[in-house]
């Protein structure tokens, strides 16, 4: 019996060896940082390390949540995500339906290709492009405003425009990606449905309402729920690079991720940044579990696990 | 019949109009960047950036050419990081996924769980910053650009695992095993060659992530001791915060900051950073599309 067991282990040894680099990487990159989360409950003394530092219980969290910043960053993270999920999905689905109506294959490919270009560039470069529009003295928008006799707007220090700017930039960069997802879902609908409907005299609008939308519903719902599962996370690049980390804009641009970065790297405040990061991880965990459970009910094969 | 064709025509018009507007919105920023980089510094100072240059000039590029040593080095660094990172990533992802696809190996369930757990719960930025910098001492080394976060993710592992299970016949592996081929040999000589489609897809997405990454450098490279490892993105990031950085980074070049065409060379450096992606895009476009659809809806 033991010989058999040993034999089996020898047989499986190559597989364990092949998995080893991956497992080591997961331990270093994903599991050891879990231990780093203890920082949120300690007052870090670098000489003593995480383990030796003094416990402070939930003091860091109390301090974080008694500040006004906590409310701002949580509100910003959630509201932007909701806007992106609701409006963003609606726009992307509408575009995908329109793209599917295009008869010319060449044009369809052209639109798809062009809309994907912004997705491929880094957020740093995206911030260069945004700067060309928004720069105080030389930006295109201010030149146009001046041309029509208006006043320069100091974009990088006026909060009220930023929810729109950020939404616009988000769509600009991400719509090509979402378009491809929904378009591929529409393309996979059997052409027979549309042919039959056309013969029966259905208009395009009727076909969209009664064929396309119902048949891509499960893809859309799945994507929405998975995105809701990530509602505590924000795209660091969008919220850090596009406003150029301008302090005057923090009220409407700072999300949890940006706060964590600034607290950690600029203020060296391990306590506050760790508390915010742990809060984000825990909330994110709860949301993604719920989201996955819901997806499982809607369309089983799209669930994460 | 006429009603029907009218309906069709109407939808053609609507679709083309809306998509054309979106396509223009996608392209205009790039045009503006390009035009600004070819503008005369003085005309930009008075009239601002414009979609078509008020006055054409190559000054920005001539200035940047004097800084070619720095730019060239950061390009090489980007290429190095992308190739090494993507290569390592594909190998460890492929091998790990291969083991996970073997249901009969004891412990695979546990490994699977560990893998999926990382998708659900993460230690967050602070935990990983602390570990990478204080335990592995990765700060101000080239490894900082390669190892944290980007190298392997559970999602890709699962995609590859599913591909192995669904698209590679078990009979092939059995035959090779009977012929005396080792497990590693089977993986390397049979499974890998048959997995070109999935490898191309995730390899491209991983490569893009490495090429565009600037966050690892932001966290782990200090300007004082790590700037020799700056990739093109990190250089762009640095210049975006301080346009005079490029001028001050190189000493003894004979160019003083006073004569630097700052507003236009800022845009020119953006164009330089953009160029490789735009050149490669037409050739890789269909793989990007594939990568997005595969990643979005698990097969």
B263-290 residue pLDDT tens = 888 889 889 988 988 899 999 888 888 8
How far apart CA B103 and CA B108 sit, in angstroms, is 7
| Interface contact A265-B219, CB threshold 8 A | yes
* pLDDT at position B107: 92
Is the per-residue pLDDT at B256 higher than 60?
no
Residue of B295 and A124 predicted with greater confidence: A124
Is the per-residue pLDDT at B255 higher than 80?
no
Nearest CA to A75 out of A223, A220, A217, A255 is that of: A255
**With contacts defined as CB-CB under 8 Å, which chain A residues touch B277?**
120-121
Mutation target to probe the B interface, by most B beta carbons within 10 A, among A60, A89, A125 is: A125
| Interface contact B123-A35, CB threshold 8 A | yes
Cα–Cα separations (whole angstroms), residue B290 to A19, A108, A118, A129, B202? 27, 16, 17, 27, 10
Average pLDDT of the segment spanning A112-117: 94
* pLDDT at position B244: 65
**What's the pLDDT band for B298 if we cut at 50, 70, 90?**
very low
Is the per-residue pLDDT at B3 higher than 80?
no
Q: Identify the bridge partners of residue A43 per DSSP, sorted by sequence position.
A: A54
* pLDDT at position A75: 96
How far apart CA B135 and CA A38 sit, in angstroms, is 15
The CATH superfamily holding the domain A60-302 is MetI-like (1.10.3720.10)
**What's the pLDDT band for B259 if we cut at 50, 70, 90?**
low
Cα A235–B90–B97 angle (5° rounding)?
Answer: 95
What residue of B is the nearest CA neighbor of A206? B7
* pLDDT at position A108: 94
Q: What is the pLDDT of residues A221-272, one digit of tens each?
A: 888 888 888 899 999 999 999 999 989 999 999 999 999 999 999 888 888 8
Residue A99 has its nearest CB partner, among B19, B126, B270, at B19
Residue A98 has its nearest CB partner, among B4, B18, B115, at B18
Residue B284's contacts (CB-CB under 8 Å, 6 or more residues apart) are B204
Cα–Cα separations (whole angstroms), residue A305 to B100, B120, B155, B177, B299? 14, 10, 11, 31, 13
* pLDDT at position A132: 92
Q: What is the pLDDT of residues B102-115, one digit of tens each?
A: 988 999 999 999 99
Domain segments of chain A: what residues? 60-302
**What's the pLDDT band for B6 if we cut at 50, 70, 90?**
confident
| Interface contact A143-B48, CB threshold 8 A | yes
Cα(first)–Cα(last) distance of chain B, in Å? 41
* pLDDT at position B68: 86
Mean pLDDT, all residues of chain A:
91
Average pLDDT of the segment spanning B33-54: 90
* pLDDT at position B113: 93
Nearest CA to A261 out of A284, A247, A250, A277 is that of: A277
- Touching A: B residues 130-159, CB under 8 Å: 130-131, 134-136, 147-149, 151-152, 154, 157
* pLDDT at position B216: 96
Average pLDDT of the segment spanning B166-180: 89
Average pLDDT of the segment spanning B243-256: 55
Q: B29 to chain A nearest CA, in Å?
A: 6
- Write down the number of H helices and E strands in chain A: 17, 2
% of residues, chain B, pLDDT over 70 = 91
Least confident span in A94-108, A279-293, B171-185, B235-249: B235-249
Residue B99 contacts residue A19 (beta carbons within 8 Å): yes
**What's the pLDDT band for B64 if we cut at 50, 70, 90?**
confident
* pLDDT at position B250: 47
- Touching A: B residues 190-249, CB under 8 Å: 208, 211-215, 218-219, 233, 236-237, 240-241
Predicted TM-score (pTM) of this structure: 0.91
**What's the pLDDT band for B2 if we cut at 50, 70, 90?**
low
Q: Identify the bridge partners of residue B20 per DSSP, sorted by sequence position.
A: none
Q: What is the pLDDT of residues A174-233, one digit of tens each?
A: 999 999 999 999 999 999 999 999 999 899 999 999 999 999 988 898 888 888 888 999
Average pLDDT of the segment spanning B54-69: 89
Cα–Cα separations (whole angstroms), residue B169 to B159, B185, B190, B194? 17, 16, 11, 10
CB atoms within 10 A of CB A220: 18
Is the per-residue pLDDT at B299 higher than 50?
no
């Amino acid at each position: 019996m033991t010989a058999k067991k040993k034999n089996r282990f020898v047989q499986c040894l190559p597989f364990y060896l092949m998995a080893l680099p991956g497992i080591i990487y997961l331990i270093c990159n994903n599991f050891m940082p879990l231990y780093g989360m203890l920082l949120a409950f300690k007052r870090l003394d670098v000489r003593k390390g995480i383990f030796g530092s003094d416990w402070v219980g939930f003091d860091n969290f109390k301090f974080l949540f008694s500040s006004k910043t906590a409310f701002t960053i949580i509100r910003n993270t959630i509201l932007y995500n909701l806007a992106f999920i609701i409006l963003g999905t609606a726009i992307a689905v509408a575009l995908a339906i329109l793209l599917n109506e295009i008869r010319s294959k060449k044009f369809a490919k052209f639109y798809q290709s062009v809309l994907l270009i912004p997705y491929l560039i880094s957020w740093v470069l995206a911030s260069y492009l945004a700067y060309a529009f928004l720069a105080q003295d030389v930006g295109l928008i201010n030149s146009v405003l001046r041309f029509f006799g208006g006043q320069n707007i100091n974009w990088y220090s006026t909060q009220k425009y930023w929810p729109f700017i950020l939404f616009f930039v988000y769509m600009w960069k991400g719509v090509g990606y979402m378009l491809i997802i929904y378009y591929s879902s529409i393309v996979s609908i059997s052409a027979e449905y549309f042919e039959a409907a056309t013969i029966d005299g259905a208009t395009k609008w009727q076909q969209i309402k009664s064929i396309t939308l119902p048949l891509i519903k499960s893809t859309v719902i799945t994507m929405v729920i998975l995105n809701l599962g990530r509602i505590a996370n924000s795209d660091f690049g969008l919220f850090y690079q596009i406003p150029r980390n301008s302090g005057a804009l923090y009220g409407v641009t700072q999300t949890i991720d940006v706060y964590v970065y600034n607290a950690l790297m600029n203020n060296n405040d391990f306590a506050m940044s760790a508390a915010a990061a742990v809060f984000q991880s825990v909330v994110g965990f709860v949301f993604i579990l719920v989201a996955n459970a819901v997806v499982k009910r809607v369309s089983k094969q799209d669930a994460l696990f | 019949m006429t009603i029907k064709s009218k309906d069709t025509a109407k939808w053609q018009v609507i679709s083309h109009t809306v998509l054309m507007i979106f396509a223009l919105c996608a392209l205009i920023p790039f045009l503006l960047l390009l035009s600004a980089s070819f503008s005369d510094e003085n005309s930009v100072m008075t009239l601002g950036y414009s979609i078509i240059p008020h006055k054409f000039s190559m000054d920005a590029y001539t200035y940047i050419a004097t800084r070619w040593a720095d730019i060239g080095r950061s390009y090489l660094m980007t290429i190095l990081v992308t190739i090494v990172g993507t290569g390592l990533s594909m190998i460890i992802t492929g091998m790990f996924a291969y083991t996970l696809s073997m249901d009969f190996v004891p412990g695979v369930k546990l490994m699977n769980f560990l893998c999926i757990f990382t998708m659900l719960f993460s230690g967050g930025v602070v935990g990983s910053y602390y570990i990478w910098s204080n335990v592995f001492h990765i700060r101000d080394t080239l490894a900082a650009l390669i190892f944290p976060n980007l190298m392997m993710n559970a999602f890709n592992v699962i995609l590859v695992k599913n591909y192995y299970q669904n698209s590679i016949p078990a009979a092939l592996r059995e035959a090779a095993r009977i012929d005396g081929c080792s497990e590693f040999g089977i993986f390397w000589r049979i499974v890998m060659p048959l997995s070109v489609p999935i490898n191309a897809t995730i390899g491209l997405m991983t490569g893009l992530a490495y090429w565009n990454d600037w966050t690892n450098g932001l966290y782990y490279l200090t300007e004082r001791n790590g700037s020799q490892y700056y990739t093109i993105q990190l250089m762009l990031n640095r210049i975006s915060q301080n346009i005079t950085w490029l001028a001050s980074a190189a000493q003894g070049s004979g160019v003083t900051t006073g004569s630097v065409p700052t507003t236009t060379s800022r845009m020119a450096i953006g164009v330089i950073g953009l160029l490789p992606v735009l050149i490669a895009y037409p050739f890789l476009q269909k793989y990007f599309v594939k990568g997005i659809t595969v990643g979005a809806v698990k097969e």
